[in-house]
């Protein structure tokens, strides 16, 4: 109640809640939000709980809400049966490389547009922004490029490099960094230049340390995006040892792996837990990323 009494912003504040009709509206809104939250959360909870049931419990009529016993050995069995650690390790390695490409390459591009501003930077900025207006028709030519890389004629499929390159050339991320860098005072950059720091040194020694908020936000977006990405890893990695968790889920849903419904539920639970924990830890930064992207230089 204390938090409500100190509420000064939003659709309703504490002054509005002094009136009965606004209290009713507030209660209806809160009830709808709780209902929507349950719609999103209950299926995940049901899948996680059902994975511990026996076949008899799963098909019993009327259905049982909770299993008679939570046997966590099932998780260890399915982990070893599918070699789940291999998929998890590949996904983590893919994400770590993607983070480096995302922050360094997109950050450098945003730094050039924001602070270096070479000849033609305005035209380059317009072209980068224009790519955000194009429809998503670039998958086929991009895939053909990775199959036969121009000039060097190397097939990059089967490696993580094409996926990292895709993350390292996002127009939206470039503009995100560019807008944030516009807010960094030029005094820091000029002082570094007077001390003999190079243009590249200024980026790594001055710009990046001052840009931790936007780096954290972009890192969160990158991790969440690459964790759930399926199409490009499936096209590039194929049926190699580098398959990610999203490809494992596809194999399960297509029936390629001989798993029961209960085993599949445990696998889904294992794949949902890491991003769920990640979101719980960094939820404030994820929400702040929406307002962060609108910072004006």
What percent of the chain is modeled with pLDDT above 70?
A: 87
How many folded domains does the chain comprise? 2
Q: Is residue 297 part of a domain?
A: no
Q: Is residue 105 part of a domain?
A: yes
Out of 192-206, 231-245, 262-276, which region has the weakest mean confidence (pLDDT)?
262-276
Of 233 and 140, the one with more pLDDT: 233
Do 230 and 91 belong to one domain?
yes
pLDDT of 102-121, one tens digit each? 999 999 999 999 988 888 88
Token output for 63: 């259905």
Predicted pLDDT at 163: 93
User: The domain containing residue 16 runs over which residues?
Assistant: 2-75
Do 50 and 148 belong to one domain?
no
Do 156 and 236 belong to one domain?
yes
Predicted pLDDT at 297: 41
Say how far apart CA 242 and CA 237 lie, in whole Å: 6
Reply yes or no on whether the pLDDT at 69 is more than 80: no
Predicted pLDDT at 161: 92
Query: What's the distance, Cα to Cα, between the start and end of the chain in Å?
Result: 39
Do 138 and 60 belong to one domain?
no
What percent of the chain is modeled with pLDDT above 90?
A: 17
Single out the residue in 59, 75, 91 at which a domain terminates.
75
pLDDT of 172-203, one tens digit each? 899 999 999 998 888 888 888 888 889 899 99
CATH number of the domain bearing residue 108: 1.10.3720.10
Q: Is residue 86 part of a domain?
A: yes
Q: Is residue 269 part of a domain?
A: yes
Say how far apart CA 158 and CA 237 lie, in whole Å: 4
Reply yes or no on whether the pLDDT at 9 is more than 70: no
Token output for 214: 């936007």
Do 187 and 244 belong to one domain?
yes
Single out the residue in 52, 75, 98 at which a domain terminates.
75
Do 97 and 65 belong to one domain?
no
Q: Is residue 250 part of a domain?
A: yes
Do 113 and 24 belong to one domain?
no
State how far the alpha carbon of 115 is from the alpha carbons of 85, 92, 105, 183, 211, in Å: 43, 33, 15, 10, 14
Single out the residue in 38, 54, 75 at which a domain terminates.
75
Do 140 and 10 belong to one domain?
no
pLDDT of 132-164, one tens digit each? 877 766 788 888 889 988 888 899 888 999 999
Q: Do 82 and 248 contact (CB within 8 A), yes or no?
A: yes
State the average pLDDT over residues 259-288: 72
Q: Do 110 and 88 contact (CB within 8 A), yes or no?
A: no
From 73, 43, 83, 72, select the one nearest 268 (Cα to Cα).
Answer: 43
Do 129 and 207 belong to one domain?
yes
């Amino acid at each position: 109640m204390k938090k409500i009494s100190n509420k000064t912003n939003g659709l309703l504040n504490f002054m509005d809640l002094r009136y009965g009709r606004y209290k009713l509206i507030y209660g209806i809104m809160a009830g709808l939000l709780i209902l929507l939250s349950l719609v999103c959360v209950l299926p995940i909870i049901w899948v996680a709980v059902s994975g511990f049931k026996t076949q008899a419990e799963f098909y019993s009529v009327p259905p049982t809400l909770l299993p008679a016993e939570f046997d966590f050995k099932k998780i260890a069995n399915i982990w070893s049966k599918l070699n789940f650690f291999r998929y998890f390790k590949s996904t983590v390695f893919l994400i770590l490389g993607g983070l480096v490409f995302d922050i360094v390459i997109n950050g450098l591009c945003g730094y050039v547009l924001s602070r270096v501003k070479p000849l033609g930077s305005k035209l380059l900025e317009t072209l980068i922004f224009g790519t955000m207006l194009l429809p998503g028709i670039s998958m086929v030519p991009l895939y053909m490029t990775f199959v036969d890389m121009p000039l060097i004629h190397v097939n990059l499929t089967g490696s993580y490099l094409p996926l990292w390159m895709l993350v390292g050339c996002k127009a939206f991320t470039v503009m995100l960094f560019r807008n944030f860098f516009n807010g960094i005072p030029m005094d820091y950059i000029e002082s570094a230049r007077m001390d003999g720091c190079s243009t590249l040194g200024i980026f790594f020694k001055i710009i990046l340390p001052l840009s931790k908020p936007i780096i954290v936000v972009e890192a969160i977006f990158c991790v969440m995006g690459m964790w759930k990405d399926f199409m490009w890893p499936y096209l590039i990695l194929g049926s190699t040892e580098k398959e990610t968790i999203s490809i494992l889920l596809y194999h399960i849903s297509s029936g390629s792996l001989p798993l029961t419904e209960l085993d599949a539920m445990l696998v889904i639970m294992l794949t949902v837990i890491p991003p769920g924990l990640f979101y719980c830890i960094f939820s404030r930064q994820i929400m702040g990323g929406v307002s962060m992207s609108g910072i004006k230089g």
